[in-house]
Structure 1
Amino acid sequence: MKTRRTGVTIVLPVHNGAETLPEALHSISQQTYRDWRLVVVDDGSTDGSAEVVARHFRGDRRVRLVRTEHRGVAAAANLALREADTEWVARMDADDLCMPERLEVQLDFALRHPEVDVVAGQVESFAAGGIGEGFAHYDAWQNALLTHEAIAREAFVELPVAHPTLLMRRRRILAVGGYRAGDFPEDYEFFLRALARGLRFGKVQSVVLRWRDHPHRATRTDPRYREEAFLRVKATYLAPRLRGRPLFVWGGRKARRLGRLLAAEGAPPSGWVDVDPRKRGQRSDGLPFLEPGALPPAGTAYVVACVGTRGAREEIRAALHGRGYRETADFWMAG
């Protein structure tokens, strides 16, 4: 298939999204940027999702509806990518709402920053009963990460880009293998793999998507989004950065679970860092606990910090910077 140089293809995989699809599709039809195409892959829906799409865009030649048996979101998204014929593709989910200027502002950013392969955007979460403090905190955190350097710095904390906001160079996404299916969050694995393969990220400083929270959201119901799955995929992509020096993992029980997963990936810790004075002289998994001041000099060891207490990451960063450790060279935040 010949790739068009102009326009944007929106790729939207859906499985049983009929309840929210009408609003999502309406938000697409209201885009101020008009040179768009839409590829919807109906992933074996049984609730009439395909019929919703067909009714909404009846007679609109910009829209292609592909029906398949149920194979999962990764396979559906990859099929949509292959069906696209434009240089730029925009990811979309069936339960979210694009802001009217979404494509216009993201494509403008992409054209002004030719070094960028993936353009994300800021989000505004919403829910029928209002969003909780956790989602509000996550939105504020990832909305503040605008540059490639900031996004890469936070890569192992959480997913620092809202996946359904992504505008991507299609050839670059296909070159890194598209999406993978497995016992892991496919959006986070895709992000970490793209980053490891050298793709550059950016983010527009405006809200481009209203992100719907609801009880059936995959992040709430799909076992691939459980904490252990996130830790495992972090370990897979973090371990190659941690070889050649002693490794120390900073944090509590979650950090030690991550340390075991890093060991399984070929980056075994040499010790645990904990501020709790009761841990002094103790061992876990045969490894000693260290106080932060006992870490080796900068440049001779790696540190991975995995902490959940709000404000703890900033304190650890300050302590390590004070010792001369450089973030993403000598230490990484991973939680």
Structure 2
Amino acid sequence: MINSYPEAVGVIMATYGGDRADRLERAITSIVAQEGLEHLQVRLYIGVDGPVGDEIGAVLTRWEPHSAIIIRRFPVNRGLAPVLNDLIAGLSDEPFVFRMDADDVAHPLRLRTQLEYLLANADVDILGSAITECGADGQRRTVNYPLSHEEIVRALFWRNPIAHPTVCFRRRVLDGTGGYPVQNLSEDLAMWFLCAQRGYRFANLPQQLLDFTVGADFWKRRSVQRAWREYLVWTRGVWALHGTSWRLAGPVARLAFRLAPEWLRRRGYASSIRRPMKP
């Protein structure tokens, strides 16, 4: 049984000077054009993380008069977690809050599909979905994630089991955690560990509800520094959930993989676990 629809839902998105204006335009449009939600308002909260160029500024200026788009500009670039937390603190009365990235595309029924699932499954607090990765070479790959809460928590020691830009939170999660742990990189992973520790329940939908952009600089951004910070988040999270456990080998294995030659990482990234790349 589906409970009654809320009057509004929120979507939080951050953008910064390194984003591409055309992709930001595409991302905003995909949220504004969501289908099947004529009975409620979709409020898009956009946080501008520091200075941006004229092209991104023009996109934001064009959309700012839209009645359901709230843009907050922050003068200094601080990173994703602080911006998302400021957007969360400025939300209105929306009982469900979706995440969206500034270079991805939400499928037309994404919000409706996730909202209906959450209304019918009161025990689920955090809901993601499968994604379609869109490479710079035009290739597309379906990426699947574990579906049930138990599978997601089991997988958490060795992979990120939820695609961050696909997530919908019940508002009680954001109120209960105080938002994202503030750190440099891996905010989503730290959030999943925090939520697991607090007893919130996860789920993923098997449908591909978002096109995830893999830019040409994807591999360049997989730096040693980033790998080390990710390792620390993973190790602390696994320790908090399981204490002294064989699962602590998971973060070590991931660190070794992150430090492997690029050709090996590319091959692993396209492995059958995530489904092979399709033309």
Give TM class, smaller chain: 0.7 to 0.9
Residues 119-268 of structure 1: pairs in structure 2 closer than 5 A: 119-131=127-139, 136=141, 139-140=142-143, 143-217=144-218, 220-221=220-221, 226-243=226-243, 247=245, 254-255=252-253
Residues 49-128 of structure 1: pairs in structure 2 closer than 5 A: 49-55=56-62, 57-69=63-75, 70-85=77-92, 86-128=94-136
Q: Matched residues in 1 for 2:251 and 2:80: separation?
A: 32
1:50 Cα deviation after fit: 3.8
Q: Matched residues in 1 for 2:158 and 2:193: separation?
A: 11
Q: Secondary structure at the match of 1:42?
A: strand
The answer to whether the aligner puts 1:41 opposite 2:47 as a matched pair is: yes
Counterpart amino acid of residue 234 in structure 1: W
Residues 271-286 of structure 1: pairs in structure 2 closer than 5 A: none
Q: Matched residues in 2 for 1:72 and 1:208: separation?
A: 26
Q: Matched residues in 2 for 1:39 and 1:159: separation?
A: 25
The aligned counterpart of 1:270 is: none
Q: Matched residues in 1 for 2:32 and 2:129: separation?
A: 19
The aligned counterpart of 2:262 is: none
**What whole-Å deviation, never above 9, does each CA across 1:123-151 have from its counterpart, x for those lacking one?**
0000230459xxx4xx53xx241111111
Q: Matched residues in 2 for 1:5 and 1:251: separation?
A: 43
Percent of aligned pairs sharing the same letter: 27
Larger Rg: 1
Counterpart amino acid of residue 226 in structure 1: R
Q: Matched residues in 1 for 2:250 and 2:198: separation?
A: 31
The aligned counterpart of 1:13 is: 14
CA 160–225 in structure 1, closer or farther in 2 if over 3 Å, else same: farther
Q: Secondary structure at the match of 1:41?
A: strand
CA contact (8 A) 1:9 1:38 kept: yes
Larger RCO, structure (CA 8 Å, separation 6 or more): 2
CA contact (8 A) 2:158 2:254 kept: no
Q: Matched residues in 2 for 1:160 and 1:311: separation?
A: 15
Q: Which moved more, 1:172-181 or 1:94-103?
A: 172-181
Residues 311-326 of structure 1: pairs in structure 2 closer than 5 A: none
The aligned counterpart of 2:276 is: none
CA contact (8 A) 1:184 1:225 kept: no
**What whole-Å deviation, never above 9, does each CA across 1:182-206 have from its counterpart, x for those lacking one?**
2441111111111111111112221
Q: Matched residues in 2 for 1:75 and 1:253: separation?
A: 25
Runs of 4+ in 1 over 6 A off after TM superposition: 249-253, 308-312
1:29 Cα deviation after fit: 1.8
Q: Matched residues in 2 for 1:225 and 1:207: separation?
A: 31
For structure 1, list consecutive stretches of 5 or more residues without a partner in the other structure: 259-307, 313-335
Counterpart amino acid of residue 74 in structure 1: A
Q: Matched residues in 2 for 1:149 and 1:107: separation?
A: 21
CA contact (8 A) 1:37 1:63 kept: yes
CA 182–166 in structure 1, closer or farther in 2 if over 3 Å, else same: same
Q: Matched residues in 2 for 1:253 and 1:107: separation?
A: 33
Over the aligned positions, Cα root-mean-square deviation in angstroms equals 3.1
CA 171–216 in structure 1, closer or farther in 2 if over 3 Å, else same: farther
CA contact (8 A) 1:185 1:225 kept: no
CA 224–151 in structure 1, closer or farther in 2 if over 3 Å, else same: farther
Q: Matched residues in 1 for 2:78 and 2:161: separation?
A: 27
For structure 2, list consecutive stretches of 5 or more residues without a partner in the other structure: 257-267, 274-279
**What whole-Å deviation, never above 9, does each CA across 1:245-279 have from its counterpart, x for those lacking one?**
7x557979945979xxxxxxxxxxxxxxxxxxxxx
CA contact (8 A) 1:119 1:201 kept: yes
Counterpart amino acid of residue 171 in structure 1: R
CA 241–71 in structure 1, closer or farther in 2 if over 3 Å, else same: closer
Q: Matched residues in 1 for 2:23 and 2:101: separation?
A: 10
The aligned counterpart of 2:32 is: 29
